[in-house]
Amino acid sequence: MDKLESLQAEVESDPSEANFEALLTTYPLLFGYWIKYLEKFPGEILWKRALDQCPSIELWTAFLDREMASLEDCKLAADSVGLFFQSHPIWDRYLAKLQGVERAKVLSYLITLPLYEYSKYSQLAIESQNEYPGEFGDIAEILKQTSQLVNDKWAFESQLSRHYFHVIDLEESEKKVWDEYLDYQESLGNHAQTAALYERCLVPCALYKGFWMRYIRWLSAAMPDKVDSAFERGQLYLDPTELEQWAIERARYRQGLGFPGAQEILAPFTSRTVQEVQRQLADQAAGSVSTVKRQSLQSLRDNGDLVAFFNADIAQNGCAEARALVKAEPLV
């Protein structure tokens, strides 16, 4: 808390580029300070960086309120945060730039999304249907299904009080709501909606390793190409004592998913644990399965695990199975 307050005080007393950089490099999710920074030092490169590091509805809204904002900018904003429950400021600005059948097409999509302003978009869609009936399909059934989703989500949304980043601990009750909300969203099987909810969650919950690891586990099955990026982002918010274990987990995931560079991730660390992991990864990369076999037999000896025994036996036949075992390792 002291560090954040100190950096904020520096910006308030002297809003220089250096002070903004010091604050936002350390705490990139402070959308209000990005807006202040951009008001004082406007520029397209800085806007892009801000929106990449802090994709909030508030920041995207400020971006779209610039005089030169275009329809393409609205599309970018919708792609970034358009699935967030309260993304109506983005969609309102998007619709304002559209006419005719193009507006009807966007409305036909909007009424499928469980958004806070769902009722408003439903009414606009009904009005638009009279002029463009071919764009909306069975609108009554669509509205019924989306209305149910909105009600289901509201059961969670109504219990969330903090949607912004802060270093003050989040209430345990609110963390529990996020966990239950994510359980619900994952059960629906909509990957885009689930990813959007995780991105929202990881603003107020950015300081909690458990939420980052939950996201990474989900990504490894649903969107494996995004796993490494999540590891890199999560590292910004970890306690320094957690960095070594985080690097080990990242290296294992990276190699298990077939990505290069696992050893480089561990290079800054020199503990005996890291050295052992580096050796294991090198064995696996070279096709050696002795380490995997030994670990599996140890598991059998410790836990009487028959599956571990068969894994050890399979490991004698090639490194592909060994990599599969690495993927399946539990995370701590």
Residues of the chain with pLDDT under 50: 288-289, 292-293, 296-297, 299-301, 303-332
Query: What is the model's pLDDT at position 113?
Result: 98
Distance between CA 99 and CA 210 in Å, rounded? 45
Q: Are 174 and 162 in contact (CB under 8 A)?
A: yes
Q: Where are the domains of the chain?
A: 159-238, 244-332
Token code pair at residue 268: 């800054």
Own/partner pairs for 219-228, CB < 8 Å, 24+ apart?
A: 219/195, 220/253, 220/257, 220/327, 222/191, 222/194, 222/195, 223/191, 223/195, 224/257, 226/195, 227/253, 227/254, 227/257, 228/253, 228/254, 228/259
Q: Are 15 and 36 in contact (CB under 8 A)?
A: yes
Amino acid at 133: P
Query: What is the model's pLDDT at position 230?
Result: 95
- Cβ neighbors of 203 (< 8 A, separation 6 or more) are 29, 56, 163, 164, 165
Query: What is the model's pLDDT at position 256?
Result: 83
Query: What is the model's pLDDT at position 331?
Result: 39
Per DSSP, the three-state class of 323 is helix
In sign, the C-alpha dihedral spanning 164, 166, 172, 173 is: negative
For tokens 């690891």, name the residue: 213
Query: What is the model's pLDDT at position 121?
Result: 98
Query: What is the model's pLDDT at position 302?
Result: 52
Query: What is the model's pLDDT at position 294?
Result: 52
Query: What is the model's pLDDT at position 305?
Result: 44
Q: Are 91 and 61 in contact (CB under 8 A)?
A: no
